[in-house]
Structure 1
Amino acid sequence: MTLSCALTFDFDAMSVWLGSYKARNPSMVSRGEFGAIAVPRILDLLKKHELPGTFCIPGHTALAYPDIVKRIRDEGHEITHHGWVHENPADFDEAGERANIDKGLEALHKAAGVRPKGYRSPSWDFSERTIKILLDYGFSYDSSLMGSDFIPYYARIDDRFDDKTPYHFGPNVDLVELPVAWVMDDFPHFEFVDKDTYGLSASTKVEEIWTDEFDYAHRNIPGGLFNVTMHPQVIGRGHRLMMLKRLINTFKSRDGVTFSTMGAYVDQWRANNPLDKWLKSGAPQAQNACGRDGL
């Protein structure tokens, strides 16, 4: 069996500074503008290697740079929902969280006429309602949770947890989770945000980490997904883009490796692992199917 590799790019632009960091300083917000400089470079790289990419785009970014979003679409790459302005869903009540989903969908449709089937939460934050809301909107998959590394699973609803009682696992639902990890994200490795993130790592350090993660998955997780998260305003710097070029060549040199969008991978994985069959498979995340509530 093969290992699939998903090259994913969170095209946050100014929204991450406005939403996550609540910045109103023109200098800090301007850091996001480099994302629009970097995306064409990334698209050229993907085109050179004939590789698909997945671009996770907030609605705010789509309205700021509709021509770039159209180019992403026109060159055959996947576009997923990434919030409205990189907001934390847990900061809103249910009506507010749904309104942000609506605004993101409307902006992506206005900019490029797309209706994403995938979702990635800004900064990978969830509320206790997020999975149910994603189901209501008909999303096929999410890529925000961290319950595995290279092995997809069906998400759960209604988990209950505190520091005094045993963890309660809720039922799995028909939303495929493509797990993520901060170690597989370029932002904490490379970015500098005072009093928050002190990255600025050498690209060779990150290249070593990602290559070793890839080699582990390649040797041990047949059929898995190597899911790496990058941000154009981060990875698009010259020395980091050179690192990405080297990584692509390394990944392509391994036997049995394919490159896929997250959406295409999910379609194949879901066909091979329908929910009822998966629940009987003994997967660790299928807690409700293991009768744990009845112990």
Structure 2
Amino acid sequence: MTRAPLTCCISVGMDALSLWTTSFHSNNPSMISRGEFDAVATYRILDLLERHEIRSTFLVPGHTAMAYPQLIKDIHARGHEIAYHGWVHEDPRDFDLAGQRRIFERGLEVLDHVVGVRPVGHVSPAWNTSEDTFALVEEYGFLYDGSRMATDFLPVYVRKGDRWPANEAYEFGELTEVVGLPVAWPLDDVPLFEFVWGNLGGLTAPSAAEEIWRGDFDYAVANCPGGVFNLTIHPQSSGRGHRMLLLERFVEYIKRHDEAEFGCLGDYAKRWKAANPVDAWRKSNPMLAGDGALTSLTRP
């Protein structure tokens, strides 16, 4: 029997200026200018993807689309998927429910205005989520979320309403029909490459990143047929010369494997959902669905 291929997604985070003004709370124009490198390096990434005929997913905050509308139009014109990535790369835990709704509305409004797109994918900034996030993801009709780490290479259906009361049993919430595509910090270039005083050590050699990425890819292609290998890069990090050479080598390495193929997150999520009805998936994955947990030690 032919094994289903591993789908390799190169997800491109277009955080630009917002990464520094919001996530790192900088008021230093020099530091903030690091985000401007997206306006240069994104075209290097786009040309690499075009050479290798790869359709990717670009994670776009509304703030970036307002700062660089032509850049986002060029990404869309080259046929890549646009996914929602917040308004200004904010942490949703800093806002009440009404505030989180305003963030969704504002980010989606900008993407509609700039490229006429209503994304099917939600990826929370810095993968930070609140108690309300997944209920809102369902409410706004997203096909998939790419913000969770419960698995490494196999999708799940996302739960909403999980609770974690202090010193009490974990409370698993309600299963939704939103597809959860896995992410992981070792497969993100920012912690590996970016240097921020007192925050990130960064400056990892490309050879070390290549060892990590190849190791995870080799494991996934051998053990997770039909799964997804989701590498998250950022032009301002991976778009620098020695890292572009790494990315080229890694793409060529993947292409040498017949059991792997490239794709975007949205296309993969659509196929996976069609092949894995939620009820059947729940029966096969009760622990990931949140079934069977004890809420107390009371005996009947």
Once the two structures are TM-superposed, the CA of residue 162 in structure 1 deviates from its matched residue by 3.6
Matching of residues 67-216 of structure 1 within 5 Å: 67-216=70-219
Unaligned runs of 5+ in 2: none
Deviations for 1:3-62, whole angstroms, at most 9, x for unmatched residues?
A: 000000001110111111121211111110001101111000000000011100100000
Q: Evaluate the alpha carbon distance shift between residue 162 and residue 291 of structure 1 in structure 2; reply closer, same or farther with a 3 A threshold.
A: closer
Q: Evaluate the alpha carbon distance shift between residue 284 and residue 253 of structure 1 in structure 2; reply closer, same or farther with a 3 A threshold.
A: farther
Amino acid at match of 1:188: P
**SS of equivalent residue, structure 1 residue 96:** helix
**SS of equivalent residue, structure 1 residue 80:** strand
Query: Paired residues, what number?
Result: 294
Once the two structures are TM-superposed, the CA of residue 207 in structure 1 deviates from its matched residue by 0.3
User: Paired residue for 2:60?
Assistant: 57
User: Paired residue for 1:223?
Assistant: 226
- The equivalent position to 1:42 in structure 2, one of 33, 42, 45, is 45
The alignment status of 1:33 with 2:32, answered yes or no, reads no
* Cα distance in 2 for residues equivalent to 1:11 and 1:283: 36
- The equivalent position to 1:21 in structure 2, one of 21, 24, 43, is 24
Amino acid at match of 1:210: W
Matching of residues 222-261 of structure 1 within 5 Å: 222-261=225-264
**SS of equivalent residue, structure 2 residue 27:** coil
**SS of equivalent residue, structure 2 residue 289:** coil
The alignment status of 1:12 with 2:45, answered yes or no, reads no
After superposing on structure 2, the runs of 4+ consecutive aligned residues of structure 1 that deviate more than 3 Å are 290-295
Q: Evaluate the alpha carbon distance shift between residue 191 and residue 127 of structure 1 in structure 2; reply closer, same or farther with a 3 A threshold.
A: same
Amino acid at match of 2:153: F
Amino acid at match of 2:238: I
* Cα distance in 2 for residues equivalent to 1:188 and 1:141: 24
* Cα distance in 2 for residues equivalent to 1:138 and 1:250: 36
**SS of equivalent residue, structure 1 residue 277:** helix
Amino acid at match of 2:9: A
Contact 2:131 2:163 in 1 (8 A): no
Q: Tell me how large the CA RMSD over aligned residues is.
A: 1.3
* Cα distance in 2 for residues equivalent to 1:168 and 1:103: 31
**SS of equivalent residue, structure 2 residue 9:** strand
**TM-score with structure 2 length normalisation?**
0.95
Contact 2:15 2:60 in 1 (8 A): yes
Unaligned runs of 5+ in 1: none
